[in-house]
Each structure stands twice: as structure tokens, then as C-alpha cells.
Amino acid sequence: MTWGQRRTLVILLVVAAVIIMVATIPHWSFFSGPPISWNSVLVLSLSGSIEEQQPPDVSSFFLGSQPLVLHEINDAIDQARSDSRIKGLVVRIASMDTGWAKLEEIHQHLLDFRASGKPSVCYLGYDGEENAEYYVATGCDQIWLTPTNPLDVRGMMAEATFLRGTLDKLHIVPDFFHIAEFKTATNEYTEKKFTPAHREEVTSLLASLYGQYLTEVSSARDMSRARFAELVQAGPFLAQDALQNRLVDRLGYWDQVQEYFQRKTGSWNPVDFSDYRRSLDDGSGPQIAIIYASGEIVSGASQYSTTGTEVMGGDSVAADIRRARTDSGIRAIVLRVDSPGGSSLASEVIRREVQLAREQKPVVVSMSDLAASGGYWISMSADKIVADPDTITASIGVFSGKMNIAGLYQLLGISTDFVATGDNATVYSDQQDFTPAQQQTIQKMLNEVYANFTEGVAAGRHLPIATVDSIAKGRVWSGEQAKGLGLVDELGDTDRAIEVAKQLAHIPANESVEVVRLPKPKSLFDFLLARAQGEVSASQGARGSAQSLLQRLSAMVRSEPVRAQMPFTLTIH
């Protein structure tokens, strides 16, 4: 028996043991939460990243700890609003690491809960309470701040990192081509600071997101926009100053929050979100499929890297769309996109399935934090596109190129040699720059892919090609800006996308629907079996593996020669 066969046998034995234990002990604490009593208060703790769907993490099966998932958060808030057992809501917010579109969705659902008249308190009692955390907090009707905790509300900044100086020190030459001037995905390698076009698009994007932040927070705090803008520019604030300026409602500790609800509801019966979400369901009635398209786009199957990062496989997402298309019980499809883009070929594979699906039933795209470049490519042929105002989208452009690491090899005393059957055989060699003839070949490829991209946008969004070209050029826009340009049809969250899908499928607005989520979450058995077959933890090619820096640099573009990817890595805080 080989080592691989022995490993598979051990894993299957473990799976069998787990199945027997689950069958004989059905009331494990991590499979069923405590009962929800009357006069309960839902306690929702938000921190770190928020996912679109549950990743296949084996620890969650045994330890009961699961990542935060956006639709579960929103569904729990919505259900608690009408759940007679739930008398109030507490949101504990620590430092968050997620995009502004997801934060906006949570903020809006908190505002909806607030309208129910049930008390809602946001408790800011952790380090790192900055713009993003405060934005979510303003969805509650009260914000409590720990008396010794400063409130780090201040003006926004957008920050990008550039590696050209490091590459120069390593004698590595970045050799890239792009269409067009705003397609700045490779600027982190080729530049040391913003180019004029790069600065222009970042400035425009930041202004849009900041403007929405000012408008929504000032409205939630019942404060004039001008007054809140003035306060933001003066931040950050000591706790007492935050209270005096009405940025928070009370300074207090966690035990005082509990006392508040004891007085308000007559008791303190907390129910944790991790328990409450077990009572959620996906509704009943006509079926609408939500297909998740998350992560960098690559050819082949969807995977999770060893760090838990999701990778969107063109074949996998296409298969999910095809499954929903051929299922007669599914009346409409919502494609939920959260992607910076990636392979133009894999993007086209997905787009083709969107096109085929809409010939049989409505297809509505719902954009999350990112739907840029390839993320927009897979969206452009849908019947309708619904984006969050804070979505980063468009980036209609492409690039290609490579890293020439011959200088680094020489610095390290490494030498290579080769034989080739022709000049273009070395086109993606990491030991030389592109020759003039190879440059022409690369440019021709880029021109064709860019033409396909812009023509697809023109056809899908019913825009003149000249208009598309004027707003393309690789430039990113916020969802709010994209709506004004005709690149998206409506502004709203996932709920709005479902409403639009119902309209197109002629389902009455007041009729409930069953949401069918694809891909289906992996069970523990699926997870362990996939691990045995080497599928789930496979890396993103050279991007996610433990290969050396040299190998990753040299393989950066070779596997996907033409990329439709977000034009820069940007942090907005």
C-alpha cells in the first residue's frame, strides 16, 4: 500500500468514526445551540473579515467557530426584527477588515431593525474603532463607547504600495503592457508613486466613497452633513469629546449595557449570533438561485488556498450557472460577484454561461465589495446589474507582461542557458525582455481582448461603443459613479437584486421565495474527502503555494497571459 493510499484510508476511517458519533450523539453543542427564550437580546459580534459564503474549514465542525458570512448576518438582523422572542439587539464591533460595500449592507439592515422600535445598541469597547467600525455602528439607535476608548473617526485616505524600488535593488525588470492609461494593475511593479492617471482615478473613487460616508452617517446620527464633515476633519476624538459632539450617545462598560437591557426589557437573556443563526432558513416558495462568484478568477476549478483565500474557477462557476439554468424549479438567477478579476479567458467562460442562462430565465448580478475588470466581464451580459454605492467596479481594461529576473540571477551567481525552435518561443522567458517582434505580438493580443471586452459591455449594457471606450480605459468607478455612467442599472444590496429578479420572473412582490445557494456548502465528509484527493487546499497555482519568490515572480503571468484584473491594490481607511 502506498503512502497516499494509507493517508486516504486513515481519512476515510476518521470520516466513518465522525459519522457514527454524530448519529449516536445528535445533541452535540456545536450542532445545536441552546433554546431561545422569550425576552432575549440578540448579541452580534463583528470583527475581522466578512465572507460571502462559508469556506470549507474543518475546525468549524469540531470547535464550533465559523467565519462571519454576510447573508447570515443580514438574515439574523432581519429575522430578529420580527421575532417576538427577541426584544433588542446589541452589536459589539472590533476592528474590521472588509470592504465598504459589505459594511453598507450591514449598516442598512441595522437601520431597518432600528425602524422596528426595538432597542439596538452598538458597543464600541475595543481597540481600532475607526471610520469603518463607526460607520456600521451608526446603524444602531444608540452608540456606547468605553470611557477610556478614543474614537478614531477622521478623514479618509487611500493608500497604495509600490515595489519598483525593491525590484530595482534586486535587479528585476518588470516588462508589462496594458490598455489603457487607467489600467494601473502593474504600477505597483513599474512605478514608485502614483502616475497622473492613477492619482486621478484614486482621487475620484475616494471622493465618491467619502461623500457617501458623510451623507449616510450624518443622516443616521440626525446631524447636518456639513456639521459631520467638520467633525470628521477634526478627529480623532477622546471619549468625552465624542460624547459632547454627539458622535456617541453614552460612555459605558459592558456590564452597564447589560443593566440597560435589564431595565428596558425586564431581563438580560443574551442569545449569541452563532446560536441564533442556526434558526435561519432560506425561505419557501418559488426558487431563486444565488450563485457566488468570489475571489480571483482562474481557469479550471474553484479552490481555497492554504490560507483560506477563495479562488474563483471559471469551470466551477459556469457549472453552477448551468445547473441553475437547467433546473426547471429555479425561476431566476442572482449572480453575486465579489472579485478583483483575473484571467480574461476564465471570465469569458463564465460570461458565456450568463448569456445562455438569460435566454431561459432572468439573470441579475449583485455586486459586493469588488466587481472589477474580470469581475465586471462576467457581469456585463446579465439582464440587470445591481451594485452597492460603495462597490468598486468596471476597470474595463487588460494587461500582460512578465518579470525579467536575469539580473537577480546574475547577482546571485545563478546562470541559465537555453535552446529554442524560434524567436517567439522565448516570449514568456523570465531571463530576457520582450523583443520588438514579441512586443507586437503581445500588443495584438491585448488589442483583441480589449475590443472583445468593450464590445461585450456595449452589447450587454446597450451603450454606444464610443461611450464605452470613453469610460473604460481600465478605470475603476464606485457603484454610485457606475450607475450614472450606465455601467450598472440600480443601486442596492442583495435583497434589492432578489426583488429585481422576482420582478423579471413575474413573481408577485409580496410572495416569499426560497433562496437556493450555489455552490452548496461542503459537508465535513466532502471536506475530508476533498483533502484526501488534494483538492480543497490546493494553492492558486504559483500565487498561493510555498514556492520561492523567484518562482512566483517568473510564473506571474505565464499561466494566464492576458489578465482582466483590478488596476491596483488599494487600502481605503
Buried b (16+ CB within 10 A) or exposed e, 342-373: bbbbbbbbbbebbbbbbeebbbbbbbbbbbbb
DSSP tag of 270: E
Catalytic option among 183, 384, 473, 502? 183
DSSP tag of 493: -
Task: Give the integer Cα–Cα distance in Å for 526 and 6.
Answer: 19
Q: Dihedral of the CA atoms 504, 508, 509, 510 (nearest 10)?
A: -160
Selection from 260, 276, 284 nearest residue 85 by Cα = 276
- Grid cell 442569545 — which residue? 271
Query: What amino acid is encoded at 533 in this protein?
Result: Q
Any catalytic annotation for residue 183?
yes
Q: Cα separations (Å) of 19 from 8, 29, 467?
A: 16, 16, 58
Buried b (16+ CB within 10 A) or exposed e, 180-203: bbbbbbbbbbbbeebeebbeebbe
User: Is 386 in contact with 481 (CB distance < 8 Å)?
Assistant: no
State the cell numbers at 235. 478627529
∠ at Cα 108 (38, 57), nearest 5°? 75
Selection from 564, 203, 173 nearest residue 375 by Cα = 564
Catalytic option among 208, 218, 302, 373? 373
Any catalytic annotation for residue 483?
no
CB atoms near residue 60 (< 10 Å): 16
Q: List, by residue number, the catalytic residues.
A: 183, 373
